[in-house]
């Protein structure tokens, strides 16, 4: 049998085998699509459709015609700009304080507490407040900082002041304190995970080379834990940026945040197109922050490798 006859005989068999592989490949893809279809449908119904409806509603004016009037009004009125600036300031302050409190706490749990039992117990003490009602946790600080609260009672009973003070509540400082208390666990959890996964041999090698504890911390631990800092900062900032309970309970006339503005537009004012424009802008800001966070995390990983 010549080579040409062998190739001619093998050709149909090879084509049949390739066709069978393609059929199996498509069956596998169809099976995976069928498994993912319920989840995709749920996401489409509960997320994509509402966001799309909100986005389209933002382009309607009072008469129901397509217009950019809501966006022009939102950017032109100083009150809206001031509210966004205030929200940024409060969210940044909350994130910064959470880093200052959360990083030492996570570092202490990972590198100082040697007992696994005590480490887990202390870590759970940070996580357990998340199981308590969010409203109750925010209201706690209203009770502490109020004129009849624990702080004023302590100051009056010790004779430091003669009468309760009203400077502790209904201001931006009280809002930041409340938000830090609520969201600091979201900073500690990723930091604890990242720090706990740092190989101890790197720290031991640094010590064997005669590097001091501070330089080991600065040159080894900090760069390796930047991913946790970025993740915790992103979660804390986004959650604080969209919070509306703390401004109501602990804020005041100068404590209005974007979420309160949205609540007013969709509730009392019934101006849904303007509220949709504000919500769209908030969504864009959050997506941009998430993209920046992702790029910073990727750049940090590349630099470390």
Topology, domain 69-304: MetI-like fold (1.10.3720)
pTM: 0.82
Domain residue ranges of the chain, discontinuous segments joined by +: 1-57, 69-304
* Helix pair angle (134-145, 150-157), 10° resolution: 20
From the number of C-beta atoms within 10 Å of its C-beta (0-12, 13-18, 19+), residue 278 rates as: buried
pLDDT value at position 8?
47
**How far apart are the two ends of the chain, measured CA to CA in Å?**
58
Q: What is the mean pLDDT of each run of 10 residues along the chain (305 residues)?
A: 48 63 76 81 85 89 83 88 92 96 94 88 89 86 83 84 81 91 94 91 81 84 91 94 87 82 85 90 91 83 63
pLDDT value at position 303?
63
d(CA 88, CA 285): 11
């Amino acid at each position: 049998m010549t080579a040409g006859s062998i190739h001619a005989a093998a050709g149909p068999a090879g084509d049949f085998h390739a066709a069978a592989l393609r059929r199996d490949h498509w069956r596998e893809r169809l099976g995976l699509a069928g498994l993912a279809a319920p989840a995709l449908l749920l996401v489409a119904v509960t997320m994509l459709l509402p966001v799309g409806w909100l986005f389209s509603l933002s382009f309607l004016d009072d008469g129901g015609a397509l217009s950019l009037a809501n966006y022009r009004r939102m950017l032109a009125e100083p009150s809206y700009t001031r509210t966004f600036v205030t929200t940024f300031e409060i969210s940044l302050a909350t994130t910064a304080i959470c880093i200052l409190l959360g990083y030492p706490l996570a570092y202490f749990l990972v590198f100082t507490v040697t007992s696994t039992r005590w480490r887990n117990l202390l870590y759970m003490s940070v996580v357990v407040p998340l199981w308590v009602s969010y409203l109750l946790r925010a209201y706690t600080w209203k009770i502490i900082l109020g004129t009849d609260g624990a702080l004023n009672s302590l100051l009056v009973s010790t004779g430091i002041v003669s009468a309760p003070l009203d400077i502790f509540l209904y201001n931006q400082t009280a809002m930041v304190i409340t938000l830090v208390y609520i969201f600091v666990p979201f900073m500690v959890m990723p930091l604890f995970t990242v720090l706990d996964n740092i190989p101890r041999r790197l720290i031991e090698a640094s010590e064997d080379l005669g590097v001091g504890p501070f330089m080991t911390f600065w040159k080894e631990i900090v760069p390796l834990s930047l991913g946790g800092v970025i993740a915790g900062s992103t979660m804390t900032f986004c959650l604080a940026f969209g919070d509306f309970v703390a401004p109501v309970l602990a804020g005041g006339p100068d404590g209005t945040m974007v979420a309160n503005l949205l609540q007013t537009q969709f509730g009392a004012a019934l101006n849904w197109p303007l509220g949709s424009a504000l919500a769209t802008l908030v969504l864009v800001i959050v997506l941009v922050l998430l993209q920046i966070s992702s790029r910073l995390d990727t750049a940090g990983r590349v630099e470390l490798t």
